[in-house]
Amino acid sequence: LLKFKELPCIPISKPPNGDVIYSDITSNIYASKTTANLLCNLGFIPIGPVETTCKNGQWEPSLGFCQQSIIGSGLSQSSISGQCLYELPIVANGKIRYSTMLAKKGNVLPPYDSGTTATLICKSNAIPMGIMLSTCINGSWNPPMLGRCPVNGIFIYLPCNK
């Protein structure tokens, strides 16, 4: 039997008004299963997929793009006050600690003030894969999702609550 090695991926072009953050920051060539996340500049929101995975030399799906945020247009879940009105999506085998929890000593519910940070902490001292920190900026979480936490070395995906 012939065994084929999967092809690596080349870096994704830097998008206008944003950046690409990779799960493997030690290389300029990315192995299969490496993830890349779209991070938009202040005042811009992601449109389309915010995460992609290297699969045999191709990034799938193609990353979205960063569009200027228009408060109140329905393009983002932001408020006139600049507060983030919702929590980030939950992460299996992890918890999200919001900086307001530390300041107010307890579990604080939305809305979150602009500047609040959300940090992903995996249970059982597991190491998170992907983005570990998000910041509320003018009513939008940037980036809009955090990474993943392994359960016994396996990553679990939770369905959206929509």
- Write the pLDDT tens digit of every residue in 69-89: 754 444 344 445 678 888 888
> Is the preceding peptide bond at 61 cis, omega within 30 degrees of 0?
yes
pLDDT of residue 55: 93
Among candidate residues 77, 82, 48, 51, the one with its CA nearest the CA of residue 65: 48
Residue 123, SS3 per DSSP: helix
Residue ranges in the chain modelled with pLDDT below 70: 1-4, 70-81, 101-108, 153-162
Q: How far is residue 50 from each of residues 53, 61, 124, 156, 161, measured CA to CA in Å?
A: 11, 9, 27, 18, 18
Same domain membership, residue 138 and residue 92: yes
Q: What CATH number does the domain containing 145 carry?
A: 2.10.70.10
Residue 108 has a pLDDT of: 67
Q: 64 and 84 share a domain?
A: no
Please give the pLDDT value at position 162. Answer: 43
Q: What is the pLDDT of residue 139?
A: 83
Range of the domain at 103: 77-155
Phi, psi of 123 (to 5 degrees): -75, 160
Judgement on whether residues 123 and 56 belong to the same structural domain of the protein? no
Q: What is the pLDDT of residue 4?
A: 64
Domain membership flag for residue 139:
yes
pLDDT score at 3: 56
Say yes or no: 136 and 85 in one domain: yes
